[in-house]
């Protein structure tokens, strides 16, 4: 598994992810997606939306407001239950989640070795003196305060006056925007059970100990579905969604050995959940949640009906009864998903005695689909042809032109950002005094580094096939030469 430091370094060097407000020293656990990062993240969201909403007859979309009525969060339980136990170090003033203190390495000044400083793995004792952590894990010297509950919602004020009546919150999840719009969607779209409402949007949590790059941050984006079903069919639908969502990640390139399902134990279930299963990914810091699929029962609709005084029910034509549907919630993080696809695509290998770094993105997710490269940047005819070809391809795919290095270095650069295909325009393409133009270009495959020469006139049709089927299926019986 690749170290997170390598992912962070590549992300900055190649324009995937930057520290927020970096020129001012940065803002903790807030991140800006660069030119390639925003393309990657948008592609993750695009394929999720297409597969979850546009390709299903039982799903519609929604984009609800970040700022909502404060009573929404009282009804949902967030004001009372959305807390973590927090402790402070009396010396360095750092804050930690009390229930996660032993998960991370801790600093220890060992008396058995005359006060030498050691970094001890989380949950382990010092090998020299046998002591376990009791002091601050960060500084190793300060005592910790007693745990107290800390609400994770960001509080703000609506309007020009900062007073209690104007208090509101930045939403900690997108789900509640769906629940409060249940009746609006039901009536306007004439939906019939079972049906779902999907949403992609920003959420905010004032995490005590955020970290691990973009895995846990205070501002993040969610891709959530609330799927409403008849009571009694919820367990079947829950399992169907678990199976479907698990398969989705492997479909877009994540290796199956890096994915697993983890059932929540009864004592860790959320107060609204009947059953929850997490899809976990083997991140550089270990197995961690990628997506949660919960059976939320009818808790949310009943709560909002009680607090708002508005009936949130479904009229069943067959039984002529009003019912409160049960809800299955697949909740994925766009940022965590993007990080997982980035980590899983990373490869290092040796080619002709040199290290080759490559991102093996699925073609649907790759930030750049095609790079058009001129073999000789001083040949105006080659450059002009390459620019025209790139402009034509850009009408359909995200294509770029690059002539800032030798062809070998250009290939390596595109490998490192995950571009599936490079197209090279050379002297043979445009012709010269010695030979007429053959009007063919060379396509190079990122993963195999194989090359094949094809007519420019056939290129759009060939690229469609390559994007859909991949290199082996398109050129299996074609005359291929190694780079």
- pLDDT per position in the chain (483 positions), as tens? 788 999 999 999 999 999 999 888 888 788 999 999 999 999 999 999 999 999 999 999 999 999 999 899 889 888 877 777 888 899 998 888 888 888 888 999 999 998 999 999 988 999 999 999 999 998 999 999 988 877 788 888 888 877 777 888 899 999 999 999 999 999 999 999 999 999 999 999 887 666 688 888 889 999 999 999 999 999 999 999 999 999 999 999 999 999 999 999 988 888 888 999 999 999 998 999 999 999 999 999 999 999 999 999 999 988 899 999 999 999 999 999 999 999 999 999 888 888 899 999 999 999 999 999 999 988 999 999 999 999 999 999 999 999 999 999 999 999 999 999 999 999 988 888 777 878 899 999 999 999 999 999 999 999 999 999 888 888 875 655 554
Does 133 sit behind a cis peptide bond, omega within 30 degrees of 0 on the bond before it? no
Q: Which of 45, 277, 28 is nearest to 174 (CA)?
A: 45
Report field, pTM of the whole predicted structure over 0.75:
yes
Q: CB within 8 A of 5, min separation 6: which ones?
A: none
Region label for 258, one of left (φ > 0), alpha (ψ between -120 and 50) or beta (otherwise): alpha
Q: Which of 71, 455, 44, 65 is nearest to 254 (CA)?
A: 44
| Structure confidence at residue 2 (pLDDT) | 84
| Structure confidence at residue 45 (pLDDT) | 98
| Structure confidence at residue 479 (pLDDT) | 57
> Are 330 and 241 spatial neighbours (Cβ–Cβ below 8 Å)?
yes
| Structure confidence at residue 478 (pLDDT) | 60
Q: Which of 187, 152, 186, 154 is nearest to 168 (CA)?
A: 154
Report how far residue 341's alpha carbon sits from residue 360's, in angstroms, rounded to the nearest whole number: 9
């Amino acid at each position: 598994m690749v170290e997170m430091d390598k992912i962070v370094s590549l992300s900055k060097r190649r324009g995937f992810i930057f520290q927020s407000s970096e020129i001012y020293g940065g803002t903790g656990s807030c991140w800006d997606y660069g030119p390639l990062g925003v393309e990657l993240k948008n592609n993750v969201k695009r394929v999720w939306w297409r597969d979850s909403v546009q390709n299903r007859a039982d799903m519609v979309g929604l984009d609800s407001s970040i700022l909502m009525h404060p009573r929404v969060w009282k009804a949902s339980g967030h004001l009372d239950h959305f807390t973590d136990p927090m402790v402070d170090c009396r010396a360095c003033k750092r804050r930690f989640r009390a229930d996660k203190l032993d998960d991370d390495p801790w600093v220890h000044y060992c008396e058995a070795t005359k006060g030498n400083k050691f970094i001890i793995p989380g949950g382990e004792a010092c090998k020299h003196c046998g002591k376990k952590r009791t002091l601050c894990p960060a500084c190793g010297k300060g005592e910790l305060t007693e745990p107290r509950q800390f609400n994770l919602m960001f509080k703000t004020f609506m309007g020009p006056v900062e007073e209690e009546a104007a208090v509101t919150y930045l939403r900690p999840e997108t789900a509640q925007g769906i629940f409060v719009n249940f009746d609006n969607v039901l009536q306007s779209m004439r939906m019939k059970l079972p049906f779902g409402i999907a949403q992609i949007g920003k959420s905010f949590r004032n995490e005590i100990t955020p970290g691990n790059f973009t895995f846990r941050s205070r501002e993040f984006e969610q891709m959530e579905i609330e799927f409403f079903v008849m009571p009694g069919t919820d367990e079947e639908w829950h399992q169907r969604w678990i199976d479907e969502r698990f398969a989705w990640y492997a479909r877009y390139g994540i290796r199956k050995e890096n994915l697993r399902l983890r059932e929540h134990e009864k004592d860790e279930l959320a107060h609204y959940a009947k059953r929850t299963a997490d899809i976990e990914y083997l991140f550089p810091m270990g197995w961690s949640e990628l997506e949660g699929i919960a059976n939320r029962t009818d808790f949310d609709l009943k709560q909002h009906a009680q607090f708002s005084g508005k009936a949130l029910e479904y009229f069943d034509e067959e039984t002529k009864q009003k019912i409160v549907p049960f809800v299955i919630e697949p909740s994925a993080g766009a940022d965590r998903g993007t990080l997982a696809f980035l980590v899983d695509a990373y490869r290092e290998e040796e080619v002709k005695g040199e290290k080759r770094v490559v991102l093996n993105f699925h073609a649907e997710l790759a930030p750049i689909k095609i790079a058009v490269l001129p073999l000789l940047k001083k040949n105006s005819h080659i450059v002009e042809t390459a620019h025209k070809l790139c402009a034509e391809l850009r009408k359909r795919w995200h294509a770029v032109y690059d002539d800032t290095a030798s062809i070998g270095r250009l290939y390596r650069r595109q490998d490192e950002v995950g571009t599936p295909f490079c197209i090279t325009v050379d002297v043979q393409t445009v012709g010269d005094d010695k030979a007429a133009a053959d009007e063919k270009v060379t396509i190079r495959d990122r993963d195999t580094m194989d090359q094949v020469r094809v007519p420019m006139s056939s290129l759009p049709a060939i690229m469609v096939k390559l994007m859909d089927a991949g290199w082996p299926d398109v050129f299996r019986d074609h005359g291929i030469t190694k780079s």
